[in-house]
């Protein structure tokens, strides 16, 4: 195959950004006339392989090894490296997840092949892909290409491609063996845990109600909580709200928080600093309410209201509860 | 405990970023530089480990042209014992694999127990150099550290996972760890530190530029093509129109 898509496990389902990677790979395959394959591994490998086989992918490879049953950077990097050597793809596509950031650079080092990270787009230039990446914390775009011969490792930013665009199909599953032993795993991992009770998974929320500095003070946060409840959404925030201690960090969206792409993102009193925008600009619909008509959030909003969030939020909650 | 901390000089958050006419890079002469934010946390974490252990050495390591001596001096003023400056023109260079190779060459014979890097740089945002260096030098690696504990020939790292989850991972030494912003409170240099920094050693190495495995074609300002529908009126009218929009246009009600 020419393009290998590495799919990540999210509790027995393909990680959302894995589905986006499938869409990205399908676009590249179409533009460049290439074939695709997907790689799954881990304790949920069977379930992931079955899900992956329902997409328009050349074939699905499943790695069975006790050393990749649970995640370790050493185990995953070695497994992916060996599959790349066996299958010899020209491009290896990842979602730019935290797990990928942890182990994919090791694959790059093992193969001495570049890892082009966090891209937002790809286009073909004379049969070679050119990738678009944000730089300077999102203030500038850059066009980047790989040099020499592949395989090239590529990751795409959350929501660079829509998972809805991943074409369905029917792919066969092939077992793939790797040669890993215990001495290669230099880390010991404890069980994952959440910092506080009721940690929120913003990444799977359909509606997000997000507050920024414009909420004014901690005492006003419940107003937004009530609105989130009334509309059936999750409460999120920009970094200043978390830094002030008004909400736990699990609610933070942005470059140092979570990246989200809900059906609707309601930005309340959020100015739209790039550190926040990179985490939410993939939302299907962005509704912004801000006092400042010049706030950069309006540049990316689908719907905008110039107004006082503290006046509008309670009225909106009331209207929704009727 | 011998710790290398990689510090990078990057444009500050408020710095202008004018693009050169040929779009090959920003006009560096107009940029206000500072220490990369997460590198500052990485430095603090290394200094704390040295202080808690009561022994050890913290070495600041940076790659770039002469201007980066400013962040090297800053790291020394904050408490790094000495520094290594890998002298290299970096304008428009974007290849972590090449960069990591240069760092690995400069660090190999030092036999560090730990290499700390910031999670990612505020200019390129590649987020992989420290891990690649670790892999090249045969060290264990971990990213996104939100806390560290050193002891018994190991470093325990509290890694940030997605969606508010964390995980403690124990790494055998030597290890290369990337540090997330916010895990400590970086110190300011004291006057004594600033004076003392002038006497500290900065070793300058001048390797030749490797062939890059990835290259920049151009930088440019993002174009917004989004049409924003502005909703206006009294507060009550706005609320009515918002509910209508949620129901009929966005279809979330």
pLDDT in tens, A256-274: 678 888 999 999 999 888 7
Q: Do A148 and B246 touch (CB under 8 A)?
A: no
Percent of chain A with pLDDT over 90: 79
Identify the weakest region by mean pLDDT among A60-69, A113-122, B9-18, B105-114: B9-18
Q: Mean pLDDT score of chain A, rounded to an integer?
A: 93
3-state helix, strand, coil in chain A (%, to 5): 35, 30, 35
Q: Do B222 and A287 touch (CB under 8 A)?
A: no
Q: State which of A157, A184, A211 marks the end of a domain.
A: A184
A17 in a structural domain: yes
Contacts of A276 (CB under 8 A, 6+ apart): A212, A238, A239, A253, A254, A255, A270
Q: Which residue in chain A has the smallest CA separation from B38? A: A256
Residue A184 has pLDDT above 60, yes or no: yes
A22 and A82 in a common domain: yes
Distance of alpha carbon A153 from alpha carbon A169, whole angstroms: 25
Q: Mean pLDDT score of chain B, rounded to an integer?
A: 95
A164 and A84 in a common domain: yes
User: Per residue in A16-43, pLDDT tens?
Assistant: 899 999 999 999 999 999 999 999 999 9
Give B223's DSSP letter: P
Distance of alpha carbon B145 from alpha carbon B115, whole angstroms: 13
Among B164, B180, B229, whose Cβ lies nearest the Cβ of A200? B164
Distance of alpha carbon B94 from alpha carbon B212, whole angstroms: 8
Q: State which of A153, A184, A215 marks the end of a domain.
A: A184
Q: Do A108 and B97 touch (CB under 8 A)?
A: yes
Among A117, A148, A207, whose Cβ lies nearest the Cβ of B213? A148
User: Per residue in B135-148, pLDDT tens?
Assistant: 999 999 999 999 99
DSSP string, A48-69: HHHHHTTBS-SEEEEE--GGGS
A138 and A21 in a common domain: yes
Q: Are B176 and B115 in contact (CB under 8 A)?
A: yes
Q: Which residue in chain B has the smallest CA separation from A298? A: B228
Residue B220's CB is within 10 A of a number of other CB atoms, namely 13
A195 in a structural domain: no
Q: Is the dihedral of CA B33, B38, B41, B46 positive or negative?
A: negative
The three-class DSSP label of residue A77 is: helix
User: Per residue in A218-270, pLDDT tens?
Assistant: 999 999 999 999 999 999 999 889 878 899 888 999 876 788 889 999 999 99
Q: Which residue in chain A has the smallest CA separation from B164? A: A250
A218 and A132 in a common domain: no
Element (H, E) at B141: strand B140-151
Q: Are A214 and A297 in contact (CB under 8 A)?
A: no
Q: Are A285 and A264 in contact (CB under 8 A)?
A: yes
Mean pLDDT over B20-29 rounds to 97
Q: Which residues of B touch A276 (CB under 8 A)?
A: none
A253 and A212 in a common domain: yes
A272 and A168 in a common domain: no
Query: Is the CB of B37 inside 8 Å of chain A's CB atoms?
Result: no
A157 and A42 in a common domain: yes
Residue B108's CB is within 10 A of a number of other CB atoms, namely 13
A253 and A144 in a common domain: no
Q: Which residue in chain B has the smallest CA separation from A251? A: B164
Domain housing A273 = 202-321
Closest C-alpha to A281, from A201, A227, A208: A208
Specify the pLDDT at position B19.
96
User: Per residue in A198-210, pLDDT tens?
Assistant: 567 788 899 999 9
Give chain A's domain count: 2
Q: Do A98 and B124 touch (CB under 8 A)?
A: no
Which of B95, B239, B243, B248 to mutate to test binding with chain A, by most A CBs within 10 Å of its CB?
B239
3-state helix, strand, coil in chain B (%, to 5): 30, 30, 40
Give all strands of the β-sheet with A264-268 in edge-to-edge order.
A234-237, A207-211, A264-268, A285-290, A303-306, B229-230
Instruction: Tell which B residues from 93 to 122 touch A, by Cβ distance under 8 Å.
Output: 94-97, 100, 122
Per-residue exposure over B129-141, b if at least 16 CB sit within 10 Å of its own CB, e if not: bbbbbbbbbebbb
Query: Is the CB of B215 inside 8 Å of chain A's CB atoms?
Result: yes
Tell me the CATH number at A75: 3.40.50.620
A192 in a structural domain: no
Q: State which of A151, A184, A217 marks the end of a domain.
A: A184
DSSP string, B34-65: EE-HHHHHHHHHHHHHHHHHT--EEEEEEEES
A253 and A157 in a common domain: no
Pairing mode, strands A152-156 and A115-125: parallel
A163 and A210 in a common domain: no
Tell me the CATH number at A258: 3.40.50.1220
Specify the pLDDT at position B223.
73
Which of A73, A205, A240 to mutate to test binding with chain B, by most B CBs within 10 Å of its CB?
A73
Query: From residue B177, how far is each of A204, B136, B147, B157, B158 by CA, in Å?
Result: 29, 14, 11, 8, 11
ipTM for this model: 0.90
Q: Do B162 and A141 touch (CB under 8 A)?
A: no
Rounded to 10 degrees, the C-alpha dihedral B37/B42/B47/B49 comes to 150
Give B19's DSSP letter: B
A146 and A244 in a common domain: no
Identify the weakest region by mean pLDDT among B33-37, B137-141, B205-209, B218-222: B218-222
A110 in a structural domain: yes
**What are the backbone angles phi and psi of residue A268, rounded to the nearest 5°?**
-110, 110
Q: Which residues of B touch A74 (CB under 8 A)?
A: 140
pLDDT class of A197 with cuts at 50, 70, 90? very low
Q: Is the dihedral of CA B105, B108, B110, B112 positive or negative?
A: positive
Specify the pLDDT at position A272.
87
Q: Do B231 and A191 touch (CB under 8 A)?
A: no
Q: Do B228 and A207 touch (CB under 8 A)?
A: no
A104 and A24 in a common domain: yes
Domains and CATH numbers, chain B: 2-205 (3.40.50.620), 223-253 (no CATH)
Mean pLDDT over A36-55 rounds to 97
Query: Is the CB of B55 inside 8 Å of chain A's CB atoms?
Result: no
Among B182, B214, B228, whose Cβ lies nearest the Cβ of A302? B228
Element (H, E) at B175: strand B175-179
A108 in a structural domain: yes
Q: Are B88 and B207 in contact (CB under 8 A)?
A: yes
Give A282's DSSP letter: T
Element (H, E) at A17: helix A16-32
């Amino acid at each position: 195959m020419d393009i290998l898509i590495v799919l990540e496990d999210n509790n027995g389902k393909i990680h959302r950004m894995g589905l986006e990677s499938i869409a990205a790979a399908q676009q590249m395959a179409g533009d460049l006339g290439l074939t695709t394959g997907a790689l799954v591994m881990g304790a949920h490998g069977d379930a992931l392989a079955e899900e992956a086989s329902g997409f328009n992918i050349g074939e699905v490879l499943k790695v069975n090894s006790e050393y990749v049953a649970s995640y370790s950077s050493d185990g995953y990097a070695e497994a992916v490296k060996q599959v790349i050597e066996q299958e010899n793809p020209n491009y290896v596509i990842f979602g730019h997840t935290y797990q990928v950031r942890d182990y994919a650079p090791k694959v790059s080092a093992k193969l001495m092949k570049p890892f082009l990270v966090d891209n937002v787009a790809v286009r073909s230039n004379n049969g070679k892909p050119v990738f678009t990446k944000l730089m300077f914390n999102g203030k500038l775009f850059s066009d980047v290409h790989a040099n020499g011969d592949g395989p090239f490792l590529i990751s795409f930013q959350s929501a660079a491609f829509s998972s809805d665009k991943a074409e369905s199909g029917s792919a066969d599953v092939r077992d793939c063996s790797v040669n890993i032993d215990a001495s290669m795993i230099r880390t010991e991992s404890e069980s994952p845990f959440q910092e506080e009770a009721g940690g929120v998974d913003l990444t799977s929320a359909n509606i997000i109600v997000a507050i920024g500095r414009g909420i004014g003070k901690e005492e006003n946060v419940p107003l937004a909580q009530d609105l989130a409840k009334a509309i059936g959404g999750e409460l999120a925030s920009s970094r200043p709200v978390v830094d002030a201690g008004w909400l736990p960090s699990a609610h933070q969206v942005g470059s140092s928080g979570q990246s989200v792409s809900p059906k609707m993102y309601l930005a309340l009193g959020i100015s739209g600093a790039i550190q926040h925008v990179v985490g939410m600009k993939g939302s299907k619909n962005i509704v912004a309410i801000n006092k400042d008509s010049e706030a950069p959030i309006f540049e990316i909003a689908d719907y905008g209201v110039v107004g006082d969030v503290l006046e509008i939020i309670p009225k909106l909650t009331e209207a929704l509860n009727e | 405990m011998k710790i290398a901390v990689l510090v990078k000089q990057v444009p500050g958050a408020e710095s202008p970023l004018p693009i050169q006419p040929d779009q090959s890079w920003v006009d560096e002469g107009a940029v206000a530089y500072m220490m990369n934010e997460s590198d500052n946390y990485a430095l603090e974490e290394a200094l704390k480990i040295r202080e808690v252990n009561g022994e050890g050495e913290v070495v600041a390591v940076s790659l770039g042209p002469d201007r980066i001596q400013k962040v090297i001096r800053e790291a020394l003023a904050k408490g790094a014992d000495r520094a290594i400056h890998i002298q290299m023109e970096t304008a428009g260079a974007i290849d972590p694999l090449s960069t990591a190779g240069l760092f690995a060459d400069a660090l190999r014979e030092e036999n560090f127990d730990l290499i700390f890097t910031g999670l990612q740089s505020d200019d390129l945002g590649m987020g992989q150099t420290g891990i690649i260096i670790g892999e090249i030098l045969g060290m264990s690696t971990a990213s996104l550290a939100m806390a560290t504990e050193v002891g018994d020939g190991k470093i325990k790292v509290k890694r940030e996972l997605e969606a508010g989850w964390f995980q403690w991972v124990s790494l055998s030494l030597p290890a290369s760890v990337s540090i997330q912003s916010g895990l400590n409170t970086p110190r300011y240099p004291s006057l004594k530190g600033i004076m003392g920094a002038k006497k500290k050693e900065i070793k300058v190495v001048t390797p030749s530029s490797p062939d890059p495995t990835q290259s920049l074609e151009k930088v440019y300002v993002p174009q917004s093509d989004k049409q924003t529908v502005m909703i206006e009126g009294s507060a009550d009218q706005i609320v009515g129109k918002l509910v209508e929009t949620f129901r009929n246009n966005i279809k979330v009600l």
